[in-house]
Amino acid sequence: MESPVDLCFTEEGCSHDIVLEKQVFRSKVPESHVQLACNLHYCAFPLNGNELCIWNTGNSPAHHQPLHLVGHHHSITALAFGSKINPLLVCSASCDYVIVWNLDECTKKALQGLMPRGIVIGTLLGMVLYVRFSPDDQAVAVCAGNRIYMLNNEAILTELEGHLAPVTAAEFCTWERNMLISVSEDRSFKVWDYCTGLLIYQSAVLTAFPLLSLFIDEENKQIITGCADGQLWIFSLLSGHQYRCVVHINLKKEREKFYSKTGKSRQQLDQIQKFSKLYSTNDMRPEETVETTLPVLRIEHCDQSINLVNARCLWIGSSTGLFIINLANFELEAVLHYKGTIIKYLITVFCLLTSMFENTIALLEINLAALMRSQQSDFLLCGKEKSSSYFNAGMKSTMKDQSLVFHSKIKSSGYTTAPQMTMFSPKTNLKKNNKISEWKNSCKRHTLLTTHKLVGNLFTGDGELLACGLADKSLLVFNSNLTGRPAVFSGHDGAVNSVGWSHDKRWLVSASEDRTLRIWSVRSTEPALFLGKEMFHKSIRFAQFYYIDTFILLCCGAEFHLLSYYLDTSKDDLKRYKQKSICKSVQKFPMASTVEITSLSAINDFYSYIILAAGSNRTLEVFDLNAGCSAAVIPDAHSRSVHQICQNKGSAFSTQPLEAYNLFMTTATGDGIKLWDLRTLRCERRFEGHINRCHPCGIAVTPCGQFIACGSEDKSAYIYEMRSSTFSHKLAGHTESVINVAFSPSSPQRSPMSILLLFLAVFHLCFLGQR
């Protein structure tokens, strides 16, 4: 046993203790492939093969000597603490015995000079890889070979057989009675009723590599499993979700993203490693670096009360380092590297390590706050040093303008809180009777529209009219109750790319592939303003009214334009074809290092200086038109180019907390939906579950800011709660991919009844437009 070693990291002249080596134990044999155990006060590990060592993690001098328990003849391969504190039990397993020890009784006997003894509950079960106590400590699940034995007082309660390879981990589901979940080297997981021995669910083969670890997230009711190739899967255990996959995480890719965001963190981590005699080896030249596979050996909860991220996090232990992953956005928050060791258990901020090349076991104490502070993400902030460059938070005009700055402490907007609302199941068995006509009359107040074969749809601010741009070069304007024939606006020579209403509902702006922009009067099907091909060298991808109808905002190529305009629909009888409306370019804003702007977003319902742009180089850029320059750049926002940015702008019929207007969503093909915060420029949550592999499926946020809707390629629309990363409802009924969705701004969904009416209003707009 060696004295503690303090590993320090110095940044800008301040010393921050990140890792403290509490104790190092020397063993006669390697202990590198053993399930170790920790709880809040103790850690358990094998010593010299068949000897069980219990160490108190407290600082009291009376507990500096470990408790040694002897009873096995073969090497101990698995350890676990019980679920209860009084009495505190610990289970040890080897090829010969499975023994349960009462820690309080063993401590008393050791103080009396007697030999502590445990209770043998299993004999000659074979190679045991994992043990786990049941929630009431009345049974122990023992993973030996391809089987799981449920043991209790020398009796085998049940024997779970079905895996085709050794079982590597098993966990009890605390909220479901008699449920046990197991993972195996056969690359699948199984759900059991361990009292009856019945198999409830069996997954397909997930990967080409063995599954090594398992963790149950009780708060979100999910399971997280990791494999030998650094892959993580999260599955939902909620009733009705049918064990669907919530997200798949590639730890190696997330690590590379983390390095790209924090350019100096890798050098900082290398500096930390130089102080450690246990983890450091001779410095290797770059050409001698060995690429590792990052096997996920352990998954444990990260204490939220001491981390600096306003979200639940997990510790991921691998053979090369520790990783902290955010369960809201599924990105890495911190990385701590070591060499020549295997992580076997994590609890709170204590880490128990065994060495692959030395017969040593180490107990580390990690200062999580210091680790997180040392690896904060660095974003390129343009103009931040200038005192005049502020972000306008974009509040409504009736409120006092508030500036958005980058403070160290940010008040939460509520997207990390657990979902507070239980949503309903939509009714799909409605018969064609008088209730349909009654329901149509209420659609003006509660409407969610999902469309296919459309390039855009948009409600007016009062929710009375709906405009849709079609790929057949025309525009349709419906009443919100979808009664009567729609007004048809034609004149474009290419597919309509964008549609936007004016704030006063009198005008409609459209942009097309034919490189033209038209402004239409709602009362006339002839354009009031026409901008031809001579003004734009490429197709106009996006156009809208901006700054409460003061300007027109559009993007073309790698820049977006700010135009001032004057509209006059009167006609001269002699010069009927000469328009009196005029338009003038105010300024152009180029987006750096991109070929084309793929999405643009701004708010017209109230005064806001913020413009959000996404480029073909996968970059997000924030422009402050008050300062007239780019304010911030977010590189690699998605794995592919962003095809839509959706800002949370609320409506005149609902109010939200002021902080909520700083949120916006982005989506990209094959990379789900991300929720961002303008104050931190961080991805705060990620939404996955819908299918979006090739079509640019659209997204929308409710006026109350509590729900997100998106289209999907499986002919359905999906509804997500803002505080949950998995979808809450799937709305089927379309015959083709749903590529656009929209909420009516006049229906703030705050009660289950209003949401019920909301989800019933699903129509095939293409069919209605052709009717």
Highest mean pLDDT among 455-469, 471-485, 702-716: 702-716
Range in 54-63, 187-196, 325-334 with the lowest mean pLDDT: 54-63
How many other C-beta atoms are found inside a 10 Å radius of the C-beta of residue 123? 11
CA dist., res. 495 & res. 474, Å (int): 8
Residues 689, 691: Cα–Cα separation, whole Å: 7
What percent of the chain stands above pLDDT 70? 76
Q: Which two tokens stand for residue 271?
A: 């500096």
| Count of beta carbons in the 10 Å neighbourhood of residue 345 | 26
Percent helix / strand / coil, the chain, rounded to 5 = 10, 45, 50
The answer, yes or no, to whether residue 493 has pLDDT greater than 90, is yes
- What are the backbone angles phi and psi of residue 27, rounded to the nearest 5°? -115, 160
Q: What's the mean pLDDT in 684-708?
A: 91
Closest alpha carbon to 95 in 50, 126, 140 = 126
- Interacting residues of 302 by C-beta distance below 8 A, sequence separation 6+: 312, 313, 314, 315, 324, 368
How high is the pLDDT of residue 34? 87
E strands along 332-372, which residues?
A: 332-337, 341-347, 350-355, 360-366
Structure tokens given for 85:
């504190």
CA distance 505 to 671: 35
Residue 281 clears pLDDT 80, i.e. is over it = no
pLDDT at 305: 56
Burial (0-12, 13-18, 19+ Cβ within 10 Å), 394 = buried
CA distance 92 to 140: 11
Where is average pLDDT lowest: 68-82, 149-163, 358-372, 483-497?
A: 358-372
Q: Tell me which DSSP letter residue 651 carries.
A: B
Going by C-beta distance under 8 Å and a sequence separation of 6 or more, which residues neighbour residue 383? Answer: 389, 624, 627, 629, 630, 631
Which residue did the predictor score with more confidence, 240 or 84?
Answer: 84
For residue 299, give both structure tokens: 């998954």
C-alpha separations of 139 from 35, 87, 196 in Å: 18, 14, 14
Whole-prediction pTM value? Answer: 0.77
Alpha-carbon distance of 342 to 386, in angstroms, equals: 48
CA-to-CA distance for 486 and 505, rounded, in angstroms? 16
What number is the average pLDDT over the span 381-409?
39
pLDDT the model gives residue 233 = 95
Q: Minimal CA–CA distance to 651: which of 463, 500, 377, 452?
A: 463
- Tell whether the model's pLDDT for residue 392 goes beyond 50: no
Give the pLDDT band of residue 576 (cuts 50, 70, 90). Answer: low
| CA distance linking residue 337 with residue 750, whole number of Å | 46
Summarised one tens digit per residue, pLDDT across range 414-450 is: 665 555 444 334 444 444 444 444 434 443 344 455 5
3-state secondary structure of 765: helix
Whether residue 312 has pLDDT greater than 80: yes
Residue 14 has pLDDT above 60, yes or no: no
Which range, of 32-41, 530-539, 754-763, averages the lowest pLDDT?
A: 754-763
Q: What are phi and psi of 229, to 5 degrees?
A: -110, 15
Going by pLDDT thresholds of 50, 70 and 90, the confidence category of residue 396 is very low
Average pLDDT over residues 377-393: 38
Average pLDDT over the chain reads 80
In order, the DSSP letters of 490-535 are E--SS-EEEEEE-TTSSEEEEEETTS-EEEEETT-SSEEEEE-TTS
> How is the beta sheet containing 321-326 ordered, strand by strand?
298-302, 313-317, 321-326, 332-337
Whole-angstrom CA distances from 173 to 83, 114, 130, 147 are 13, 38, 16, 19
Q: What is the pLDDT of residue 425?
A: 43
- Comparing CA positions, the residue from 392, 455, 450 lying closest to residue 631 is 392
Closest CA to 249 of 312, 324, 339: 324
| Res 72: pLDDT | 93
Report yes or no: 394 and 608 within 8 Å, Cβ to Cβ: yes
Q: What's residue 401's pLDDT?
A: 40
pLDDT given at position 49: 84
Mean pLDDT of 492-503: 93
Confidence band, pLDDT 50/70/90 cuts, at residue 316: very high
| Euclidean distance between CA atoms 691 and 713, whole angstroms | 5
User: Tokens at residue 283, please?
Assistant: 């410095």
Whether the predicted pLDDT of 62 surpasses 60:
no
Q: Among 264-273, 328-337, 444-453, 708-717, which range has the highest average pLDDT? A: 708-717
Mean predicted confidence (pLDDT) in 319-340: 84
Span 685-713, average pLDDT: 91
Give the model's pLDDT for residue 172: 95
CA atoms of 658 and 112, how far apart (whole Å): 65
Higher-pLDDT residue of 339, 404: 339
Residue 574 has pLDDT above 80, yes or no: no
Structure tokens at 448: 């969610």
**H or E element that contains 20:** strand 14-26
Tell me which of 78-82, 213-217, 328-332, 389-393 is least confident: 389-393
211: helix, strand or coil: strand
Total length of the chain: 771
Mean pLDDT of the 27-52 span:
85
- Residue 770 main-chain phi, psi, to 5 deg: -95, -10
pLDDT band at residue 350 using 50, 70 and 90 as cut-offs:
confident
Q: At what angle do helices 251-261 and 265-273 cross, to 10 degrees?
A: 110
Q: How far apart are CA 676 and CA 663, in angstroms?
A: 6
Average pLDDT over residues 282-289: 42
Please tell me the predicted confidence (pLDDT) of residue 686.
93
Where helices occur in 606-718 by DSSP H, the ranges are: none
Does 377 score more than 50 pLDDT?
no
Environment class of 754 (CB within 10 Å of its CB; exposed 0-12, middle 13-18, buried 19+): middle
